[in-house]
Amino acid sequence: MKKWILALLLFVCLCTGGCGTESVRTDDYEYLIGVSLTNVMEPWLNNLAQVIGSRAETEKNVNLIFRDAAGSTEKQIQDIEALMKCGIDLLIVSPDGSNALNGIMEEVFEEIPIVVVGVEPQTKAYTTVIQADDNGIGKMAGEYILENFYTEGDKIIVFQGVEGSPISEDRLRGFTEAVKKKVKEKDIVYYYGDWFRDVAEARMKDYLVVNGAPDIVFAFNDEMAYGAYIAGEQLRMGNGTKFVGVDGFEGESAGLNLVEKEILDATIQSPDFGSLAYDTAMDILEEKEVQRDITVTPRMITGDKK
């Protein structure tokens, strides 16, 4: 795990008691931004936290408070309540896609602006929502696989995210739309990889032992694609398998580097949510005009892997 995230998790743990009845605002900075994450261990939220934290480090008039719900909606509600007690000026939140946060978001929105990142909430209580075209990501992957790798009869494995995730469901919908009537259903196997490398690695090993190497792997993020690749390497299978992921982050084991190293054949680069969220938050706080709905179009990153 990256040192930055270890530091973030420690900070989150130290803040679990909230801010009490006193605001933490001081004269040392002008703006206090609260960031509520569903689960910082998910790669895209990990990246979001890193980017927002890095951007804020360059600003002398901004302070951040991060809270991680660790996958618990109940805790996320408590986190947001605690952030409000801290006297935040704006909330950046990544909801889980359910309606469980509607009530607390409506309460918060009466007092301060809200920037939603990732999934459009089932309430209108927000200033701006920033999201990817996840249906388009799935469709782009399906079309790319058909045009560049697929021949009739090829076996395809698809690694989805967490069961019930709106992001995962949209990507699945786009992918199945692209490949229907072109790939037989029996030639596609679907697994939930829960967004994590080790889960995808375990699922891939199960498949390899019983079925041998697939021809193509499409994972809904680069972490799962890498986990599937590692499984093939460890079992000495899958040398000819093509791997396509999603995210395109920078970093030693992130998508861009994996494509450059010819481990992944391609990754679909989703938007830089961290920079978008930070810039949008600052524009709002500085009373500049912002879009209410921001949907960013992804792009395909390909390498020369043979």
pLDDT tens string 59-116: 778 899 999 998 899 999 999 999 999 999 999 999 887 788 999 999 999 999 999 9
Report the DSSP pairing between strands 299-302 and 266-269.
antiparallel
- When pLDDT is cut at 50, 70 and 90, the band that residue 242 belongs to is very high
Which candidate, 95, 110, 120, places its Cα nearest to that of 293? 120
Whether residue 2 has pLDDT greater than 90: no
For 213-226, what is each residue's pLDDT tens digit? 999 999 999 999 99
| Distance from C-alpha of 223 to C-alpha of 64, rounded to nearest angstrom | 27
Q: What is the pTM of this model?
A: 0.85
Tokens of 207: 């498949």
Residue the block writes with tokens 């992918």:
175
Contacts by 121-124 with C-beta closer than 8 Å and gap 24+? 121/95, 121/97, 122/98, 123/99
Q: Give the containing element (helix H, strand E) for 148.
A: helix 134-148
pLDDT of residue 194: 94
Q: Which of 16-25, 89-98, 223-232, 286-295 has the lowest mean pLDDT?
A: 16-25
Under DSSP, the state recorded for 298 is P
Q: pLDDT tens digits for 44-55?
A: 888 899 999 988
CATH class entry, domain 134-269: alpha beta
Does 6 score more than 70 pLDDT? no
Contact by Cβ (8 Å): 32, 25: yes
Yes or no: is domain 3-126 CATH 3.30.2320.80?
Answer: no
Q: Which two tokens stand for residue 107?
A: 């309460």
Chain-centre distance of CA 233, in angstroms? 26
In contact, 32 and 65? CB cutoff 8 Å? yes
Whether 16 has a pLDDT exceeding 60, the answer reads: no
CA angle 204, 247, 152 (to 5 degrees): 50
Chain region(s) in the chain for CATH 3.40.50.2300: 3-126, 134-269
Alpha carbon distance 204, 137 (integer Å): 22
H/E stretch holding 77 reads: helix 73-85
Reported for 68-74, long-range contacts at CB under 8 A and 24+ positions apart, including other chains, are: 68/8, 68/9, 68/12, 68/37, 68/39, 68/40, 69/36, 69/37, 69/38, 69/39, 70/39, 70/40, 70/41, 71/38, 71/39, 73/98, 73/100, 73/101
First CA to last CA distance, the chain: 30
CB contact set of 74 (below 8 Å; sequence gap of 6+):
none
CB atoms within 10 A of CB 176: 17
Q: What percentage of the chain carries pLDDT values higher than 90? A: 68
